[in-house]
Every structure is written in structure tokens, then in C-alpha cells.
Amino acid sequence: MHKSSVSTLVILSAFISAPTLSAQEATSDAAIVAYEKEYFEKFAPVTLLDMLQRIPGVQEILNKNREQRRQARSGGGGAEAQGGRGFGSGGDQILINGKRLAGKNNNINDTLNRVSANQVEKIELIRGAAAGLDVQSQGLVINITMAEGMSTSTTFWKLTGRYFIEQSKIPPSLLVSHSGSSGDLQYVLSGEVKNTRRYASRDEEHFNALGVQTGEKFIDNATITQSVALNSNISYSFEDGSDLRLNGLFDTGRNDRLEEQEELGSQPLHTLWDTDNDVKKWEIGGDYTRKLGGFGQLKALFVVNNEDNAMGIIRDKNILTDVEYQYGQETTNLDKSEKIFRVSLTNNLTSKQSIEAGGEAAFNTFDKAFVDNRRSSVIDPLSLRSSDNVAIKENRYEIFANHTYNFSPSLVLQSSVTTEFSKIVADSITTNTQRDTSFTYLKPRMNLRYDFTSSDQLRLTVEKKVSQLNFNNFVTSFDQRTDQLVFGNTEIRPEQVWDFSAVFEHRFPNDAGSVEAEIFYRDYTDHITKVDFTEYENLAGNNISADEFFALPTADLDILRDTTAFTSKSGNIDGATAKGIKLKTNLRLGFVGLPQAVVSLGYVYEKRRELDQFTLDQIGFNRMSDHTFTYSYRHDITAWDFSYGIEGSFRSKFGNRERNYTWPWKFGPGYKIFAEKTIAGGYKLIAEVWRMDMGTGRSTLTYYDDHRRFNDVIERSEKLHKSPAYIRVILQGTF
């Protein structure tokens, strides 16, 4: 399927200059394509999300926002997934009335599905640098203009059910959203009950160091997620021209996971993992804008949020004797909060230049406690194996200035400089130690946009970025996948990146799509990865380096391996880089008689490399693929009020490494096939078939004794990961 998709891209590229592209349906200039509300009438949209899905290139941004949020929630993807610090200058790529949504948990993708389509005036696609927006982006920014001065009231509802064929269950979810406007007041109030399931299984074959099979293991996993969320978005325009927007979120729920493992062979074993995770979070955010005469325009944003997370894991064992007993118990309690405040003034220096200057303050707290209790037999009491309790406070202050220079309608330069002052205090209650560290970062940025023609654009960007720390790395945790502790490190520093990129985009006439190519290079300082924290000594008890230790005679090493506490933690290294290319195209198929069909293809080659801290080899970043291919196809048959399509992705093999194991993975393909039909009464029926790539594929987990540098293999497991496809049925409407 991968080869055929690439062939399709080549064939389609041969038609890009065909004169039979679809008729012009959107107004545009060199940098902006505007879709008025009349453009969407033939699609009979219900929500703002319905409208965005009809614009070529937008689905990619929606998918990226969804994936970044998933990685941030799970703590996966490394420091890159944690994103920038605070509001920053990059921001979301989707704006409402030129402003980002002042929220973190209450994110933009969720909001899109709650806004009624009849409240939208137009949607603009802005390519490259542009003045007057809340973000600076070298890519595509979507700006949604809401209708004003009219009284509306709409209630949107959506009923969702997921059907897993193997489990024959359809847990329902319900979303009800009431949106409206009255004069200068606009509001969206919604409530959602989520009730989702996820099933996965795994077949394993275990081999000893000689390659002889020693057993098999069969794993079944079921995850049940239930939550209730209340959201609000309110905006008001005052007579003096100022605007106020407020957002609120309250979300409470639970995530229960039951995993059953049956191991056969030389060490038969039945293990049951029972995980209960209760989560409660709330958030309040808002922004205020006002013109201050000769001082320019004032913009103020704030976000205040909190999350409580309590997780308990109980592990039961049954070893041949048919006697079941509680073998282990892990508990984790997390309480974290964030407060961000940002104020700026924007003024026009000349008819071609504008400047925004201001400051931002952020105050984060993160208190996490972990306890691991174990016992070796049914007659032993549970005893403490490991514990960690860390309280973290981070105070960060920024001053910034963003300058935009419109040299001409075709040449725009945006430059900015941000100076950050931050302080992290981490108190380890377990060890009675404290880390008190201050940082100062200078973060410049330059973004040049040049329009060769109304269709061809070049974008050049140079930027210094500093990542938001994932404080979970500060605290010890238990990794159920590898059945071992992951030790915390309170000394981790934020990751710094110099990012260089050049993008060329060609847009086809008559809103027929676009093709884009990007080359990029990133240089990392304080890259966060797994680091060897072992305190090496020789036979005389003198501290030595790792290289000196592994160069010792074999007889010395045989003695020292029994007394050395080999330890690894997340830490910082220098010398990491990333380089690559991105290619993507979005095409309307008017040249083959399907003007309302859009195909999108994308390919990313990103070679991320770092020095393996245990073997000193050059390796890829943990859980990061070099090659990613994405595709999507959507066809709207407006005469039938019907749409259908497919989207999916492929990823190349990636690695996951620790001090004592290697774990290369190859995910299976992920896809979504969908069909939508507007039925009597204006209701919309949607059917989707999903298969997530993260639930399928093959991997090889190899354990080593003590340290991989000894190359002393203990066991190898060949794993086949399976996750059933499921059908999601949605019925939605308005009244």
C-alpha cells in the first residue's frame, strides 16, 4: 500500500498544471485565502469543525494538534512533545478573531466541535508571516472570523458509540453544546459525557541468551475511560471597541485498565494487573484587548489551571500452585497547577512597521508522590521496595519584543527577541535534599516571507527555542511495559534548540490545492535522554570514568559487577541534531472530473541523532521514526448530501533504549475510513472504521545483564502487538 500511494503522488503531480482544475470558490491574495460563509453552504455544515474539514490542508493541522495533545497527556515523545514554555510566540495554528484560545487543557480542537457553523462569518488561511495576529508562524495559520451584531441560539448534540467486534460492546458518549449571540455577547456552553474503550493484545515468544525458546506469553488488555466535562466560552465586545473572552473547563473522570498475562514454558505464570486512575482538572482562561490611543493596542491573557491525579496499580500472581496473592502495589498521587499571565502593547511605528512589546509570567507547581510495595511469596507481608516524593515550583518571567516590517506586499520580515528568567526549586521529601537553580535564556527569532508571485512563496526561519520540562522525569515511577523502576532526576535542565528551516510553497489556481517542500536543521543543547548515572569505582575504591571502568581487566570487572549499582535516569547531553525534509501536497481532483474531492499526501524524513550514553554509538532519538508517510482522501457529493474518505499513516522502525535493554518497534499502519450522510430533519449520520497504528506491529525486547556495554544478553522477547479495529457511529444534529 505504501508503494501504491507513492505512485499515486507521482501520477497526480503530472497533472498539477492541468487547466481543468475546479472553479474559483474562495477569494485570495498572495498570502491569504479567504473562504466566506457562502462557500460552505453546499456542504450543510453543523459545526465549525465541519467547515474546516472542507478546506485543503487543514486536516493535517487538526491531526497534528490532536497528536501533540495525546503525547503531552501521556508524557511520551520526549521534550519535543512538551512544546514551548507558557503562551510563547508560536502559539496554536488556529485562531478565532485573530486571537489564540487562552487555555491549555481547554484546547482549540475541542472548541471547534462545539461552535455552531451559523456563527462563523469567514475562515482565512494565512501563509507565512503576517501582522496583527496573536502568533508568529512560518507555516499555515487559520483565522476564524465570527459573525457579530446578530442574535442567534443553537443547540448542538452528538451521540457517539464505539463497536468492537470481538467484544460486542457499544459504550455511548454524549455531547450537548448550546451556542448563541445577542448583540455584542457570544457564548458557547457545553457538557460532555465520554465513555470509551480500548482493547489490545500481545503474543510473545521468549528466548534465552543462546536463542533457545523458553516460553510464550499471551496478554489481553482492556482500558475503560469515563469522564464528565463542562466547558464554556464567552466573549463580549464593549462599546469602546475593547473585547473580553473567558474560557472555563471542569473535567472529572477515571481511567481503569485491566491486563491479564498468561505465561507458558519453563516458568509458567499468571499475572493480573489492575490499574485505577482518577483524574480531576479545572481551568479558567481569558484575554482582553483594548485600544489605548497613541499607546497602541493592549492585549492581556491569563490561564489558571489545576489537575489532581491519583493512580493505583495492584498486581496479583498465580504460580502453578493455584494460590492467587497480591504480589505488588504501586500508588502515585499528583497535584499540579499552572498560572500564566501575559500583557503586551502593539503599535504601528510607520505605515509598514509595527511592534509588540510586553511580558509574561508563569508559576508552576508539581507535587508527586510514588510508593512501590512488593512481596516474594503469599506468606510474606507487603514491604516497601521504593518510594519518591518531590515538590517542584517553577517561576518564569519573560520580556519580549516582536517587530514586523512589511517592506512590500510581497516581502515581510518578522523578528523577535525574548529574554527568559526562570527559577526551579525541587524539594525531595524522600532524600531531604533541594535543588534551587536559576536560568537565563535569550531566544531570538527571524521569519522572512517572500512571495515570488501570487502562487509561489518562500519562507525562511531561524529561531532559538526552549522546551517546557516534563516534571514526571523528576520523580521515580514504575514502567509496567518493562516491569522495572524508572528513577527520577531533579537536576534536569530545559532543552534548547536552534531551529533553521526553509519552505517553498506553490498554490495552484482556482483553489485547486498546493504543494510544499521544506528543509530543516536543528541543533540541540541540553538534549533530554537516558543518561548513565552509575558511580564507577576500581578495586581500590577510587572513582573512575565509565570508559576507564569498562577498560579494566575482565577479572576485575567480574568482581566489580556484583558491587556496582548500575543506574540510569533522564538527563541532559549536548551534541544532538536533527535534519531532514518535509514534502506535502493537497489537490482537488477537478482535472479528473471530481472538483469536490481532495487528496493529501505527505512525507517527512527527519534524521534525529544523539550519542548513546551506554554504548557510545550514534543512535536515533527514543521512540522517534526517521520516515513518516501520511495520506488522506475526502470526497463530498453535495447533490446527495454525502461524504466519504480515508486517512492514515505509516511510520518506519524506531528504537527505545535503556541501560539494560533495547526495544526496536515497527508499528503497523493506522487508518480511518469514514462516510457521512445528512438524513431527514438535517441530522448527520457518520460511520467510521478506526485502526490505531500504536496498537499494532512488531517489536523485539532484549534484556542485558547489568549494562548493555557488557553485551551480556539475558533474554529476548519477540512481540506481536494487536489491537482490533473498531467502528464508531455518530449521530448529530441541531435544534
| Residues contacting 323, CB < 8 A, separation 6+ | 378
Q: Which pTM was predicted?
A: 0.88
Q: How far apart are CA 45 and CA 51, in angstroms?
A: 6
What is the pLDDT of the chain when averaged over all its residues? 87
Contact at 8 Å (CB) between 678 and 684?
yes
Query: What are the CA-CA distances from residue 314 to residues 158, 318, 333, 479 (Å)?
Result: 36, 14, 15, 14
Contact at 8 Å (CB) between 613 and 532?
yes
In the prediction, which pLDDT does 24 show? 39
Q: How far apart are CA 548 and CA 572, in angstroms?
A: 22
Quick one: pLDDT band at residue 26, thresholds 50, 70, 90?
very low
* 29-46 pLDDT tens trace: 567 888 888 888 888 888
In the prediction, which pLDDT does 719 show? 96
Residue 679: other Cβ atoms inside 10 A = 11
Average confidence (pLDDT) over 590-609? 93
Contact at 8 Å (CB) between 338 and 362?
yes
When comparing pLDDT for 531 and 78, which is higher? 531
Contact at 8 Å (CB) between 513 and 506?
no
Contact at 8 Å (CB) between 502 and 519?
yes
Alpha helices (H) in 37-174, listed in sequence order: 48-52, 58-74, 78-81, 108-112
Alpha helices (H) in 185-262, listed in sequence order: none
Whether pLDDT at 111 is above 50: yes
Identify the bridge partners of residue 142 per DSSP, sorted by sequence position: 94, 125
Average confidence (pLDDT) over 577-603? 93
198-202, 258-262, 323-327, 581-585: least confidently modelled range: 323-327
What ranges make up the beta strands (E) of 612-712? 618-619, 627-637, 642-651, 657-658, 661-662, 665-667, 670-678, 684-691, 697-704
* 89-110 pLDDT tens trace: 554 578 888 777 777 666 676 7
Taking alpha carbons only, the member of 523, 528, 552 closest to residue 540 is 552
Q: Calculate Rg over the CA atoms of the chain.
A: 27
Whether pLDDT at 496 is above 60: yes
Quick one: pLDDT band at residue 83, thresholds 50, 70, 90?
low
Q: How far apart are CA 404 and CA 647, in angstroms?
A: 37
SS3 381: coil
Domain boundaries, the chain: 2-734
Q: How far apart are CA 218 and CA 210, in angstroms?
A: 23
CATH of 2-734, one of 2.40.170.20, 2.60.40.10, 3.20.20.80, 3.40.50.150: 2.40.170.20
| CA distance from start to end of the chain | 43
Average confidence (pLDDT) over 68-83? 52
Name the residue type at position 152.
T
Q: Give me the percent of the chain exceeding a pLDDT of 70.
A: 88
* 384-440 pLDDT tens trace: 999 999 999 999 999 999 999 999 989 999 999 999 999 999 999 988 999 999 999
- Report strand pairing: 527-532 vs 513-525: unpaired
Contact at 8 Å (CB) between 227 and 194?
yes
Q: How far apart are CA 125 and CA 52, in angstroms?
A: 10
- Report strand pairing: 32-36 vs 594-611: unpaired
Written as one string, the DSSP assignment of 280-339 is EEEEEEEEEEEE-GGG-EEEEEEEEEEEEEEEEEEEEEE-SS--EEEEEEEEEEEEEEEE
* 632-645 pLDDT tens trace: 999 999 889 899 99
Tally of CA atoms within 13 A in the half-sphere of 356 that contains its CB: 22
Q: Is 421 exposed, middle or buried (0-12, 13-18, 19+ CB in 10 A)?
A: middle
Q: How far apart are CA 286 and CA 598, in angstroms?
A: 36
Q: Whose grid coordinates read 475541542?
A: 110
Q: How far apart are CA 114 and CA 128, in angstroms?
A: 28
Q: Give me the percent of the chain exceeding a pLDDT of 90.
A: 59
- Copy the grid coordinates of residue 36: 466566506
In the prediction, which pLDDT does 17 show? 35
